[in-house]
């Protein structure tokens, strides 16, 4: 293994005992660890099972030891100790615990090397695809336990498979970092989320901390720990905290903004001095809000659309270049922007019959615009967008813009003051910032200000595996965040109404948007 | 239950959540606990099983909660939480884990009331009556596990019986404080004591700390913790630390001394400023040393002897006033003192034929002095003491005196400077200080300076159950103790030789001793 020392793994030599230095094995080890960690005042605890093996390990020929230890609530806990020459390099798992999809990433804890990745559908989908159904199910007799069992058993199966693929053994896994929304982490830990969805919306805990993997029957190393990213509340989960960590927003000099459009739209604004956050499940105005745009990104789904103003044709791009059978959020935003910029819809999002020509068809008494003809589509049917779809998209984009306007307004800065605009998740990966600006969903910043983060929840969890100072950093992030309850008051509704036009009632906010 | 709050149990009210105070259940609880403990910087951890029950407990009608929490390595851990109106009052167990005998004491953790006591023979006696045999046995395949199982299973049986006798339930037991010598606590914890008896005499740990009872399969409350008193080394165990705590030696203004004559002779000298300790298993001079005096105290065993100088008869007292069948350590010391003071032995401990008269008989070619005639004894045989018995006793008392002289000499004080002389254990309960002074075993201090402590190990363990500041106090005792390795060098041997007379070569040291 590498002799590099990083993160949680320390390599050190324990002095042999002598009549002059005849303190206990554990004391010599702890003394050496405290020296190495340069934290003389922090205590180091040793798991009993490890203590039982300690004298044998210390008396092997090689005096260099590979120690793995984690920080927890103001002390260190040693979870693994091996003679260096025969050490199995400790591994860690980052887990993005999504409502729909769970992604695992295996990392070598010593070298920080990425070993492998896998993903699987959250088996709780069988109980209910959405969080709410699962929370109700948890209240049924045995329901909570069943939900917990589903995810834990799936994790066990997937960990074995991933270890296999990476030529590692489950007992080499010493740390699992889990980032998920508050409901998903509650279900993982067997904590009843009943009160999360009822006023005043209370989770059982905001800081699950470091938990023995054995207490959840996760079959990795018996001493392994699970770090569950803390949450701010019921609607602001550990996935977001992981996202902030990953983006580096909390260390930015200039105000930066992070948007994660998942089950909710969550927004964090801040810099190295302050952090303010809000989540979009704030009221009726946002219901059926920013989340219901199109289908999930998958092969054959339209993710980019261009309207050729000369040929008057749609130039579409599908994921994996397969025949189109649907359109995802980013494709829909592209489409709407192109329709608006090409004059096919007006500033209210209404189809312009003359410009649309024979693309406009009637289906069951509703106007639809044909995007892909039956001959070009994978289904043999035309892919269309209806006026209702557009109206829904416009409400969504207005809600998003209003949230952004509200959160910046709260701290007294302008949207144009945002230096960096991080967009997390699949949405961030596929979205064309220019199009989102074109419909007035995102503010009119220079395109270089927008950064797609990808799976920032998984990225943050992976960062935790890399360094022993991340836990403190996470606590500091959590302590610094001010959570803004979105009051859907008259001010909010006024802003929302003004944002329900393309790009906005106040055109001066979008100088870069020029309509044909 | 009592509404008094002491020690580990805190009663408090958790604010109900509201839209204005909608932090997580655990956060509101931890916040209230931190306020109550007045330790804002100390973290409070909650066991996962308790966290799972937390929201239900917080939402019961009674808002007053009975919380039990323990301090561990710089943080608190909450192990029990109940609505006050229906709370089962938490109980604690103090355990004196002796090599031969184990004593349990049950205490109410809220009121500190003593609930009951029981004792049983350490079942490891079946493996070997002495520590050494058990340590060797631990090296055999499965041996260590077997020894651990023996004591843990016996504890489980006894705890159930004691709970029954006290009308308590095992699940009400939340804290077990165990004080024992280093070998016994190692065997309890499944730590191999192999290296304790081999140079340089290394225990696995000196500070086992707070261990989940479940990890030793001790069937009390699933969240209960076991606090194992720390040791200084292989020959200075947690029983002694408990003894120091119980005696208050570490808070004395004037130098005080604590002697525990158990399997070893252990001595602690100190005051509120400093502590120095040594143990008697220090070398060949002490082998077959202070420990082999007579039989164990039991009914029918002679514990006090007076020689009537007028009638020339022994006036004996037996434990429970039963016919005599043996003599215990304190009886032997009384006897030797009376023989010496009565002129039946000289200052070398030799029988004086003229003074002894027909009490001297020959058994198998050795001189014996008849203490109890066959008609008066329980066995129908004479109870006698031989020259060899006396020689052995004199070596023992010389060793004890030499250790006392050495340890006081090391810190530059005189034996007569000792303000209080604590004598622990059965030995301390039965010994007549005047007799021990008479033979020069203990220094010639005023009799009021001697204090019998009784079972100080159990006493210290009981004190731990009473207060949450004892753990810190124990750590401070442990940190302050300087352990003195007894070097059996020429100085030591000279002192030892001078002490092998009655009361001492230097008679001026024992002004109170006047011989007939």
pLDDT score of B143 more than 80? yes
- Reply yes or no on whether the pLDDT at A374 is more than 90: yes
Q: Give how far A191 is from chain B: nearest CA, Å.
A: 5
pLDDT, residue A303, reads 87
Pairing relationship of beta strands B360-363 and B366-372 according to DSSP bridges: antiparallel
Q: For residue B392, what is the enclosing H or E element?
A: helix B387-410
Nearest CB to A55: which of B21, B204, B231? B204
Q: What is the mean pLDDT of residues A228-257?
A: 95
**Residue B458: its pLDDT value, please?**
97
Chain A nearest CA to B382, separation (Å)? 48
Print burial letters for A53-88: b (CB count within 10 Å at least 16), e (below 16).
Answer: ebbebbeeeeeebbbbbbbbbebbbbbbbbbbeebe
Q: Do residue B51 and residue A27 have CB atoms under 8 angstroms apart?
A: no
The per-residue pLDDT for B284 is 33
Of A494, A511, A392, give the one whose Cα is nearest residue A440: A511
Query: Counting beta carbons within 10 angstroms of the beta carbon of residue A161, is it exposed (0 to 12), middle (13 to 18) or buried (19 or more)?
Result: middle
Give the residue-averaged pLDDT of B186-193.
98
Q: Do A51 and B209 touch (CB under 8 A)?
A: no
Cα A152 to chain centroid, rounded = 20
Contact B52 A25 (CB under 8 A): no
Query: B63 or B343: whose pLDDT is higher?
Result: B343
Residue A463 dihedral angles phi and psi, to the nearest 5°: -60, -40
How many whole angstroms separate alpha carbon B275 and alpha carbon B477?
8
Closest residue to B202, CB basis, from A25, A190, A195: A25
Q: Given the structure tokens 């005023």, which residue do they identify?
A: B446
d(CA B356, CA B385): 12
Q: Do B22 and A74 count as a contact with CB atoms less than 8 A apart?
A: no
Q: How far is A23 from chain B (nearest CA, A)?
A: 6
Distances (CA, A) of B136 to A52, A84, B97, B131, B189: 17, 30, 19, 9, 17
Residue of A nearest to B76 (CA): A73
Q: List pLDDT tens digits, range B305-331.
A: 999 888 888 999 998 999 998 888 888
Q: In sequence order, what DSSP letters do the residues of A138-174 get, joined into one string?
A: HTSTTHHHHHHHHHHHHHHHHHHHHHHHTT--GGGEE
**Residue B381's CB: how many other CB atoms inside 10 A?**
11
And the tokens for A476? Answer: 């500091």
Hey, are the CB atoms on B51 and A192 less than 8 Å from each other? no
Compare CB distances from B22 to A194, A202, A204 and report the shortest one's residue: A202
ipTM score of the complex? 0.88
Query: What is the mean predicted confidence (pLDDT) over A214-222?
Result: 97
CA angle A347, A351, A356 (to 5 degrees): 120
DSSP letter string, A190-230: T---GGGGSTT---S-S--EEEEGGGGT--S-TT-EEEEPP
pLDDT for the residue A285 = 33
Instruction: Tell me the nearest-neighbour CA distance from B161 into chain A, angstroms.
Output: 28
pLDDT, tens digit (0-9, with 9 covering 90-100), for A160-179: 999 999 999 999 999 999 99
Q: CA-nearest residue of chain A to B485?
A: A19
Chain B nearest CA to A109, separation (Å): 26
B-chain residues near A72 (CB < 8 A): 45
Under an 8 A CB cutoff, do B233 and A202 touch? no
**pLDDT tens, position by position, A9-52:** 998 999 889 988 889 999 999 999 999 888 777 789 999 999 99
- DSSP result, B395-410: HHHHHHHHHHHHHHHH
**Nearest partner of B472 among B63, B70, B92, judged by Cα:** B70
Best A18, A24, A30 residue to mutate vs chain B (most B CBs within 10 Å) = A24
Helix then strand then coil, % of chain A, to nearest 5: 40, 25, 35
The whole-angstrom separation of Cα A21 and Cα B202 is 9
Q: Which of A202, A227, A230 to mutate to test the interface with B (most CBs of B within 10 A)?
A: A202
Q: What is the pTM of this model?
A: 0.89
Residues of A in contact with B21 (CB under 8 A): 200
- pLDDT, residue A294, reads 59
Query: What is the pLDDT, as a whole number, of residue B516?
Result: 59
CA angle A34, A172, A12 (to 5 degrees): 25
Task: Report chain A's mean pLDDT, rounded to a whole number.
Answer: 90
Q: How confident is the model at residue B221 (pLDDT cuts 50, 70, 90)?
A: very high
Phi and psi of B364, rounded to 5°? 50, 40
The dihedral region occupied by A241, where left means phi > 0, alpha psi between -120 and 50, and beta the remainder, is alpha
Chain B contact set for A48 (CB, 8 A): 189-190, 211, 215
For chain A, percent of residues with pLDDT exceeding 70: 95
Three-class DSSP labels, B23-48: CCHHHHHHHHHHHHHCCCCCEEEECH
* Inter-chain residue contact B200 with A22, CB threshold 8 Å: yes
Q: Could you give the maximum distance between any two Cα atoms of chain B, in Å?
A: 98
Q: What is the pLDDT of residues A96-124, one digit of tens each?
A: 999 999 999 999 999 999 999 999 999 99
Mutate to test the interface with A, among B55, B144, B234 (most CBs of A within 10 A): B55
Shortest Cα–Cα distance, A79 to chain B (Å): 15
A344-351 contact pairs (CB < 8 A, 24+):
A344/A307, A344/A369, A345/A390, A345/A502, A346/A502, A347/A501, A347/A502, A348/A501, A348/A502, A349/A387, A349/A390, A349/A391, A349/A393, A349/A394, A349/A501, A349/A502, A350/A387, A351/A387, A351/A390
Task: Choose, out of B47, B194, B202, B218, the residue to mutate when testing the contact with A (most A CBs < 10 Å).
Answer: B202
Q: How far is B73 from chain A (nearest CA, A)?
A: 6
Tokens of B349: 């401990």
CB contact under 8 A, B195 and A43: no
Interface test with A, best of B51, B205, B225, B228 (most A CBs within 10 A): B205
Q: Residue with structure tokens 């995802």?
A: A328
Three-class SS state of B436:
helix
> What is the per-residue pLDDT for A429?
79
Given a cut of 70, is residue B285 above it in pLDDT? Answer: no
| pLDDT for the residue numbered B262 | 65
Are the beta carbons of A25 and B203 separated by less than 8 Å? Answer: yes
Q: How far is B20 from B13, CA to CA, in rounded Å?
A: 18
What average pLDDT score do residues B203-230 get? 96
Q: A209–B45: do the CB atoms touch at under 8 Å?
A: yes
Query: How would you class A137 by CB atoms within 10 Å of its CB: exposed for 0-12, middle for 13-18, buried for 19 or more?
Result: middle
The closest CB to that of A52, out of B52, B55, B190, belongs to B190
Torsion angle, CA of B6/B7/B10/B11, rounded to 10 degrees?
-20
pLDDT (0 to 100) of residue B298 = 81
d(CA A137, CA A186): 13
pLDDT confidence of residue B60: 87
User: Tokens for B292?
Assistant: 């082999």
Asked if A24 and B55 come within 8 Å (Cβ–Cβ), the reply is no
**Sheet order of strands, B9-13 included:** B9-13, B64-72, B75-83, B43-46
Cβ <8 Å between A233 and B24: yes
Confidence (pLDDT) at A295: 65
| B503 has a pLDDT exceeding 70 | yes
Q: Which residues of A touch B29 (CB under 8 A)?
A: none
Cβ of A23 within 8 Å of Cβ of B204? The answer is no
Q: How many CB atoms lie within 10 A of CB A136?
A: 15
In this predicted structure, the answer to whether residue B292 has a pLDDT above a threshold of 50 is: no
Question: Is pLDDT above 60 for A288?
Answer: no
Q: Measured between alpha carbons, how far is A147 from A125 in angstroms, rounded to an integer?
A: 10
Region B392-405 average pLDDT: 90
Contact A195 B74 (CB under 8 A): no
CB count within 10 Å of CB A125 equals 15
CB nearest to A51's CB, from B202, B204, B233: B204
Mean pLDDT, range A503-514, rounded to an integer: 94
Q: Which two tokens stand for residue A489?
A: 């008051």
> B42 versus B66: which is more confidently predicted?
B66
In chain A, what is the straight-line distance between the N-terminal and C-terminal CA atoms, in Å?
62
* Residue A271 tokens, joined: 């810099």
Answer whether residue A137 shows pLDDT above 60: yes
Indicate the burial class of B58 (C-beta count within 10 angstroms; 0-12, 13-18, 19 or more): buried
pLDDT digits (tens, 9 = 90+) for A464-508: 999 888 998 999 999 999 988 887 789 989 999 999 999 999 999
Contact B55 A194 (CB under 8 A): yes
Alpha helices by DSSP H, listed for A286-347, are: 329-341
Q: What percent of chain A has pLDDT over 90?
A: 71
Mean pLDDT lowest among A17-31, A60-74, B448-462: A60-74
Where do we find the tokens 């939340």? B174
Asked whether the predicted pLDDT for residue A511 surpasses 60, the reply is yes
Least confident window among A325-329, B273-277, B369-373, B495-499: A325-329
* Band (B460; pLDDT cuts 50, 70, 90): very high
Per the CB < 8 Å rule, is B55 touching A19? no
On chain B, the residues whose CB falls within 8 A of the CB of A54 are: 204-205
Instruction: Say what the pLDDT of residue B261 is.
Output: 78
**Once rounded to an integer, what is the mean pLDDT over residues B179-188?**
97
The reply to whether residue A19 touches residue B190, judged by beta carbons under 8 angstroms, is no
**pLDDT at position A30:** 93
Residue B170 has pLDDT above 60, yes or no: yes
Q: Mean pLDDT over residues A346-363, rounded?
A: 93
Under a CB-based contact definition with an 8 Å cutoff, are residues B44 and B78 in contact? yes
Contacts of A198 in chain B (CB under 8 A): none
Q: How far is B26 from chain A (nearest CA, A)?
A: 5
Residue A389 pLDDT:
87
On the question of a cis peptide bond just before residue A357, with omega within 30 degrees of 0, the verdict is no
Rounded CA-CA distance A332/A296 in Å is 12
Distance to chain B for A374, nearest Cα, Å: 52
For A431-469, how does the pLDDT look when each residue is reduced to its tens digit (9 = 90+)?
A: 889 999 999 999 999 999 999 999 999 999 999 999 888
**Distance separating alpha carbons of residues B308 and B301, to the nearest angstrom:** 20
Per-residue pLDDT, A231? 95
**Across B500-512, average pLDDT:** 95
Which of A45, A199, A202 faces B25 most closely, judged by CB atoms? A202
Q: Chain A residues within 8 A (CB-CB) of chain B?
A: 17-19, 21-27, 42-43, 45-46, 48, 51-52, 54-56, 72-75, 189-192, 194-195, 199-209, 211, 215, 233, 485
Give the residue from chain B lying closest to A73, CA to CA. B43
**How many C-beta atoms surround the C-beta of residue A358 within 10 A?**
6
pLDDT score recorded for residue A238? 96
Question: Which chain A residues are closer than 8 Å to B209 by Cβ?
Answer: 45
Query: What residues of A are in contact with residue B72 (Cβ under 8 Å)?
Result: 45
Confidence (pLDDT) at B281: 52
Confidence of residue A281 (pLDDT cuts 50, 70, 90): low
For residue B294, the model assigns a pLDDT of 59
Pairing, β B64-72 against β B75-83: antiparallel
Q: Chain B contacts of A233, Cβ < 8 Å?
A: 22-24
Task: Give B414's DSSP letter.
Answer: -
Query: What gap in Å lies between CA A49 and CA A212, rounded to an integer?
Result: 13
CB pairs under 8 A between A and B: 135
Distance from CA of B462 to the nearest CA of A (A): 24
Cα B358 to Cα B363: distance, rounded to the nearest angstrom: 14
- pLDDT grade for B372, boundaries at 50, 70 and 90: very high
Distance CA A214, CA A85 (A): 28
């Amino acid at each position: 293994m590498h002799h590099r020392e990083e993160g949680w793994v320390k390599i050190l030599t324990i002095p042999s005992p002598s009549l002059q230095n005849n303190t206990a094995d554990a004391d010599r080890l702890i003394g050496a660890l405290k020296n190495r960690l340069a934290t003389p005042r922090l205590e180091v605890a040793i798991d009993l099972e490890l203590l039982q093996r300690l004298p044998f390990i210390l008396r092997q020929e090689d005096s260099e030891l590979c120690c793995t230890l984690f920080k927890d609530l103001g002390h260190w806990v040693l979870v693994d100790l091996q003679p260096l020459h025969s050490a199995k390099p400790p591994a860690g798992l980052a887990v993005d615990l999504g409502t729909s999809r769970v992604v695992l990433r295996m990392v070598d804890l010593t070298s920080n090397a990425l070993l492998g990745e896998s993903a699987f559908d959250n088996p709780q989908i069988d109980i209910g695809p959405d969080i709410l159904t699962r929370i109700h199910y948890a209240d049924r007799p045995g329901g909570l336990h069943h939900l917990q069992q589903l995810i834990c058993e799936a994790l066990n199966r997937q960990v074995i498979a991933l270890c296999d693929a990476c030529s590692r053994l489950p007992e080499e896994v010493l740390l699992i970092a889990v980032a998920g929304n508050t409901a998903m982490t509650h279900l993982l830990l067997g904590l009843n989320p009943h009160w999360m969805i009822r006023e005043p919306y209370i989770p059982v805990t905001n800081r699950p901390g470091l938990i023995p993997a054995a207490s959840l029957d996760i079959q990795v190393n018996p001493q392994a720990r699970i770090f569950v990213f803390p949450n701010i509340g019921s609607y602001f989960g550990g996935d977001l905290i992981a996202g902030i960590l990953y983006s580096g927003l909390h260390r930015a000099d200039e105000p930066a903004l992070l948007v994660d459009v998942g089950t909710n739209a969550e927004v964090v604004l801040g810099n190295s001095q302050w952090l303010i956050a809000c989540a979009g499940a704030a009221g009726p105005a946002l219901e059926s809000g920013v989340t219901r745009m199109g289908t999930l990104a998958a092969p054959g789904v339209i993710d980019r659309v261009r309207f050729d103003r000369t040929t008057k044709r749609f130039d579409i791009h599908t994921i994996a270049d397969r025949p189109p059978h649907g359109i995802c959020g980013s494709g829909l935003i592209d489409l709407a922007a192109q329709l608006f910029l090409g004059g096919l819809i007006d500033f209210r999002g209404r189809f312009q019959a003359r410009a649309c020509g024979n693309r406009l068809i009637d289906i069951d008494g509703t106007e639809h615009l044909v995007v892909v003809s039956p001959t070009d589509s994978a289904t043999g049917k035309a892919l269309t967008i209806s006026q209702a779809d557009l109206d829904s998209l416009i409400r969504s984009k207005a809600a998003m813009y209003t949230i952004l306007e509200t959160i910046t307004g709260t701290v007294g800065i302008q949207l144009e003051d945002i230096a960096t605009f991080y967009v997390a998740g699949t949405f961030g990966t596929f979205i064309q910032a220019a199009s989102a600006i074109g419909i007035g969903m995102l503010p009119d910043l220079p395109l270089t200000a927008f950064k797609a983060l990808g799976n920032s929840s998984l990225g943050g969890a992976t960062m935790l595996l890399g360094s022993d100072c991340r836990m403190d950093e996470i606590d500091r992030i959590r302590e610094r965040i001010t959570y803004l309850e979105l009051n859907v008051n008259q001010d909010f509704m006024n802003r929302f109404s003004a944002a329900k036009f393309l790009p906005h009632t106040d055109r001066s906010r979008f100088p870069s948007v020029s309509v044909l």
